[in-house]
Amino acid sequence: MLLEIAKDPEVRLRDVAATARITERAAQGIVSDLEAAGYLTRTRVGRRNRYTVNTDSRFRHPNEADRRISGLLALFIDRFDGGTRPAGAQGAAPDGPAAPSPAPRDGS
């Protein structure tokens, strides 16, 4: 859910639900939980909602509490690497170590 919203902050929950293959009601519940936990905010724009992902939010699990969700988003969304943000995201660049460079090929 969070990835789909981060990709398109103006996405309709109906479309997110269809992508996730869940009911629209379940999608509404998940978004409400994410909003209550501070992972995103919902703003009414006319008859639609616009979502803003708070990329500075930390994971809740104690083993991952030192990591921001921006690191997870960067794995799946190109716009989250190098400190750039899509229109619906707020926060700092992803934390954690940089990915290692691929090993050079020997040409065979």
Tell me the CATH number at 32.
1.10.10
Answer whether residue 101 is part of any domain: no
E strand or H helix that includes residue 49: strand 48-54
| pLDDT: which is higher, 14 or 103 | 14
Answer whether residue 55 is part of any domain: yes
Residue range of the domain that includes 70 = 2-90
Q: What was the pLDDT predicted at 27?
A: 95
Does the pTM surpass 0.85? The reply is no
Answer whether residue 98 is part of any domain: no
Number of domains making up the chain = 1
Answer whether residue 106 is part of any domain: no
Q: How many Cα atoms are found within 13 Å in the side-chain-facing hemisphere of 56?
A: 4
For the chain, the straight-line distance linking the first and the last C-alpha, in angstroms and rounded, comes to 42
Write out pLDDT tens, residues 56-103: 888 887 787 788 888 888 888 876 554 444 445 554 444 444 444 455
Q: Considering only CA atoms, give the Rg of the chain.
A: 16
Answer whether residue 100 is part of any domain: no
Answer whether residue 95 is part of any domain: no
Answer whether residue 41 is part of any domain: yes
Write out pLDDT tens, residues 96-107: 444 444 555 555
